[in-house]
Structures are given as structure tokens and as C-alpha cells.
Amino acid sequence: MKTNPEVRIPFSASCCLVCVHSEPKGKTLTCPAYPDGIPRRIDNRSYTHDRIEADQQGTLVFEPDPVFTP
């Protein structure tokens, strides 16, 4: 799956940063569901990737990283 560079999110204020599945790739945040970069619609502070999306790969959804869980 190819992702347009315009929809990739910068490695900054993403709520995905606290997800156990997220992985930095240069200045882009990726995960197994979006290995080419997480779409901007998912990197939305009012959106939680808690259901499988039609354009993602696999079935992984948001899971808090225990490192960031109080």
C-alpha cells in the first residue's frame, strides 16, 4: 500500500505516540496498521483508532503503551 506523502503526520503532537504499536520512521510516525505513515484523520486529538479502518493493514487498533499509563 502506497501512501501519499501529504497525508503522513509529523513526528510531533500525535496521540498515537502513546500507542504500543507506534514506531517512529524518520519524521513520520508509523505502525503495523499504517506502515507508510498514519493518516492525518487518525492523528486527531478527538479521534481514537479503536476500530478497524477500511484502509489499514491488519486488525491492530489503539492500545495504550504501559509506559505512559498511570
> Residues 27-67: pLDDT tens digits?
888 999 999 888 888 876 667 788 999 999 999 998 988 88
Question: What per-residue confidence (pLDDT) applies to 45?
Answer: 67
Q: Which residue has the higher pLDDT, 12 or 43?
A: 43
Contact 42, 49 (CB under 8 A): yes
Classify residue 70: in a domain, yes or no: no
> Rounded to the nearest 5°, which phi and psi values hold at 6?
-70, -20
- Would residue 12 count as lying in a domain? yes
Per-position b or e across 22-41, b if 16+ CB within 10 A of its CB: beeeeebbbbebbebbbbee
pTM of the model: 0.70
Q: Flag whether 7 is in a domain.
A: yes
The count of domains in the chain is 1
Query: How does residue 69 score in pLDDT terms, banded at 50, 70 and 90?
Result: low
C-alpha torsion sign, points 47, 53, 56, 57: positive
Range of the domain at 49: 1-65
